[in-house]
Structure 1
Amino acid sequence: MLKLKTFVLESVDELKNKVSWPKYEELQNSSILVLVASLIFALVIGLIDLGFDNAMSWFYNAF
């Protein structure tokens, strides 16, 4: 039990005093970057899926 208490206390101390938290502006910029990258990734995957769907439909309708 003592080890668990020590672990929790050291973890709280590290989060308060040793972790460098980002500024609000940095957090906003990172969030926007993640949002834009996710949208681009979703668009690319959607286009690949659409192309694959069309190719498979053409293949199955050909036979």
Structure 2
Amino acid sequence: MTKIVNYISEAFEELKTNVTWPEWAEVQKFTIVVAVFSIVFALATWGVDEACAKVIAGFFKWLKP
């Protein structure tokens, strides 16, 4: 149990002393970039899904007269 507590303590100490945290403006900018990319990727995935669904539906209509 002492090893676990020691590990967690050292991890927090390293986060406080050795990690370079980004500025708040940079965090906001990257958050917006990630949000926009996520929306664009979701819309692209939805579009491909809709196109594939229509192609498959058309194929089955063609098979069944």
Q: TM-score, normalised by structure 1?
A: 0.88
**CA RMSD in angstroms, aligned pairs only:** 1.1
Gaps of 5+ in 1: none
Q: Which portions of structure 1, spanning 4 or more consecutive aligned residues, are displaced by more than 2 angstroms? A: 1-6
Structure 2 unaligned blocks of 5 or more: none
Residues 2-56 of structure 1 deviation map (CA, whole Å, 9 limit, x = unaligned): 3223212211110111111111101001100000110111111111001101101
Residue type of the partner of 2:59? F
Note the 1:51-62 alignment, pairs <5 A.
51-62=51-62
Paired positions, count: 63
Identity across the alignment (%): 32
TM-score for both structures, normalised by structure 2: 0.86
